[in-house]
Structure 1
Amino acid sequence: MSRKKGVKSIIALSSVPLVMTLGNSMLIPVLPVIEKKLGISSFQVSLIITVYSIVAILCIPITGYLSDRFGRKKVMLPCLVIAGAGGAVAGAASLWFSEPYALILAGRVLQGIGSAGAAPIVMPFIGDLFQDEEVSAGLGDIETANTAGKVLSPILGAFLASWVWFMPFWFIPVVSLISFFLVLFLVPKPKEKSEETKSLKEFAKNVKIIFKREGRWLVSIFIIGGIIMFLLFGVLFYLSESLEKTYKIDGIVKGALLSIPLLFLSVSSYLAGKLIGNNKIRMKICVMIGMILLVLSFGGMWWNHSFYPLFLFMSIGGIGIGMALPSLDALITEGVDKEESGTISSFYNSMRFIGVALGPPVFAYMMSNAARLIFIVSLLCSLAALTLVLFYIDPKENENEAAKTV
């Protein structure tokens, strides 16, 4: 692929994770407003995030298989339409119904289905389109765009909600439509393989072989990805609630403050993607350093979580997460056969969505019952992730094993 076409493809594919990112991150600063407007509890409002994520968890393995079987683009484009329709349903319910909560959740279900077949397919799509170090760089760009969306989305969500509280729901169809046309016109279809399409039985057998041979490091990466997203979205939910209820900060100012740790995450993600290349040793080192920073971050928050130290330690954690994500993506994308990469990536993305789903309600429960537990649980989770990196991810072993399957 020429450099010009490659840049266009990266730009187009970078828009796809924004559908997922805006679907969650944009709503986080708006959740307290939705809670007041609808007269529901903190737990109920957290379900607006959780329902979306649970549906995505269930659908991601299916769309991953379908993308391996029928093509990335053929699955991605219809799913972008479904995601947009879900946002429109939630927006319309908020506009026209006096008690829209149930229909908002229904719209979030549609968004979850659409997002499952869009954002998670980007990883294997990059692997199909690019070669060698271009893959790691491309994944770094995708994660950077994803986290840049996280940086902007709290500000954008707060701004839209300051106009009309349900306006963030209506923004999803706009983003989905833009992404649809970018992918349709700018992303080439990967070259078709000459071999016959494998049957479902043969495909499942190959996936089983991959897990039997490489399950140790693959499952470890899946768990680390889930822990990272659990901590990220849980802490963002905690910060959003604390800013509004403890410090009486809301609106665009709150959105801007929520964006500070995400900005550090975005920058470190971009730099890590450029640094690692296709060197798996560097990938492990980046993940390891990232998890060490995350441990230090939550240790610091346990010690002192007043206003300024909280942002300092969250920013350190953001740097750690930013270093880890593109490296985890690259280890998976370059470690398995492209024919099964969509399915393997789907398991990884399902674990990330499980983290997203569990974060807000678990942190909401701890805030209501034992707020001090938040930092202890977070510290233990980050220590568990660091342990997995140190003892269960062996890049040298990966390269040897990958040679047998690729």
Structure 2
Amino acid sequence: MKNKKTGDLAALASIPLIMTLGNSMLIPILPQIAKEIHISSLQVSFLITAYAVVAILLIPIAGYCSDKWGRKKVIIPSLIIAGIGGGVAGVASWIGDGASVYWIVLGGRVLQGIGAAGAFPIVLPLVGDMFDNDDEVSHSLGIIETSNTFGKVISPILGALLGAWAWYVPFLSIPILCVLSLLLVLFLVHEPKRKDSGQPLREFISSIKKVFKEKGRWLYAIFAIGGICMFLLFGVLFYLSDQLEKKHGLEGILKGLVLAIPLAALCLASYLTGKKIGKNKLLMKWCGVGGLVLATGSLFGISLFNNIYYVIACLILCGVGIGIVLPSSDALITEGIEKKLRGSITSIYSSMRFIGVSLGPPVISLLIGSGHIALFTAVGTVSLIGVILLLTLVKPEAGTGESGGKKQIVRKSAHQP
């Protein structure tokens, strides 16, 4: 990778890291927030749900705006809005009283969701814009995914540490983190010059319809796989967190450290996969298949025994599997779409991932009552569906890479990423 792009990539990698911290580090302190501002567990769960729902709705709009006006012109104000949202939630107890504190915090979370919609999802197409070499694109996307996952690794630990000071301190850290990322993006990211100002809305909608008509078969599969991976990840982490606290008495930083173990495995797998897949789309597909098979086998394996050490070992393997799938899917979708529509299509993909995040914990909470075997049989079946989708619907040609030192030239089909 060219040295002049190292600073750009480091600045862009700060965005998923900070956006992940801004949301995930609240999870270990939600019970504390509920207690401090006197709200129910259902009300406190809306602090996560509101953030995700707003992001899901606005991500496609942010993607269109980034295609029309430029990536940085969307990312910069989005970071500002996310920082303001964290600040509003952090000062809620100082400017509000009684029940109004909750509504101020919730309003701050909505602002954070608006900011998140135009931040991390726009990083993926910007990476695709910045690099012409497919090896550099896939390697860079692996770094972006690694940064995103690293945020998940440290968020339960950091959230518990800051929450030990006061419940609102994690919120107050968000503006500081956003300012740091904003400065990095302003001074280090050099967006390639745009050849046009984007398409009018009507023409844009027509182009999107054309893309889905020609490439919908594999795009829908990648969208579903992205959602499935996030559903699996957040679902099983919710399960592990619940079991560690209720059955094994682990709380606070110690629980955060245990939760970080499968996430650390995912982080390492994401980095290594992004580094190795290069420009070979067949390799991207088969890495994805292998990762999903590993995750599926691990989840079905958990249903056999309910020993905590065995469960954690299986979840580490599951984390490795998901870590292999994510950068492979990112690279397939980023390289399979032309640059002028890349922001919009990858934003829809990001929305699907947010849907998986939103569904994981509540679905698992409903399934816990059905028993250990039924729960992980159901979750393993969802993962198996992802394997089937990737095997049957995503069919890249061998000409996307090199074999035996000679570049292969083949015809691309309409369903080929």
Which range, TM-score by smaller chain? over 0.9
Work out the number of aligned pairs and report it.
Answer: 403
1:332-347 map, 5 Å: 332-347=333-348
- The residue identity in structure 2 corresponding to 1:177 is V
Residue 89 (structure 1) aligns with: 88
Select the structure that is richer in helix.
Answer: 1
Query: 2:172: which partner in 1?
Result: 170
Judge conservation of contact 1:335–1:398 (CA < 8 Å) in 2: no
Q: 1:4 — aligned with what?
A: 3
CA distance in 1, matches of 2:288, 2:84: 37
How many angstroms apart in 2 are the aligned matches of 1:387 and 1:234? 21
How far 1:191 moved relative to its partner? 1.4
Q: Which residue of 1 aligns with 2:403?
A: none
1:149 maps to 2:148? no
Q: Aligned partners of 1:305, 1:316: CA distance in 2, in Å?
A: 16
Residue in 1 that maps onto 2:263: 262
Which residue does the alignment assign to 1:202? 203
Q: Aligned-pair distance for 1:267?
A: 0.2
TM-score, reference length from structure 1:
0.94
User: Gapped runs of 5+ residues in structure 1?
Assistant: none
Equivalent in the alignment of 2:26: 27
Q: Residue type of the partner of 2:58?
A: C
- Distance, in Å, in 2 between the alignment partners of 1:48 and 1:397 is 46
* Alpha-carbon distance change, 305 to 28 in structure 1, aligned in 2, over 3 angstroms: farther
Distance 1:242 1:43, change over 3 A: farther
Identity of aligned residues (%): 52
Contact 2:229–2:322 (Cα < 8 Å) also in 1: yes
Measure, in 2, the Cα distance between the counterparts of 1:38 and 1:168.
15
Q: CA deviation at 1:102?
A: 2.5
Distance 1:34 1:140 in 2: 35
Asked if structure 1 preserves the Cα contact closer than 8 Å seen for 2:88 and 2:104, the reply is yes
Q: Say if 1:216 and 1:405 are closer, same or farther in 2 by CA, change over 3 A.
A: closer
Cα distance change on mapping 1:398 and 1:354 into 2, 3 Å: farther
Q: Deviations over 1:184-226 (max 9, x none)?
A: 0000121121x46422222221111111011000010000101
Match of 1:298 in 2: 299
Matches within 5 A, 1:3-402: 3-96=2-95, 97-99=97-99, 100-131=101-132, 132-193=134-195, 195=196, 197-367=198-368, 369-372=369-372, 373-396=374-397, 400-401=411-412
Q: Which runs of 5+ in 2 are unaligned?
A: 401-410
Shift of 1:40: 4.1
User: CA–CA distance in 2 between the matches of 1:288 and 1:95?
Assistant: 51
Distance 2:197 2:315 in 1: 50
CA contact (8 A) 2:394 2:415 kept: no
Cα separation, 2, equivalents of 1:274 and 1:147: 15
Partner Cα distance (1:33, 1:10) in 2 = 36
For structure 1, which segment, 96-105 or 215-224, has the greater mean C-alpha deviation from structure 2 after superposition?
Answer: 96-105
**1:364 alignment partner AA:** S
Deviation string for 1:320-360 (max 9, x for gaps)? 01000000000011001000000000110000011111122
| Aligned-residue CA RMSD (Å) | 2.1
Given the two structures, how large is their TM-score scaled by the length of structure 2? 0.92
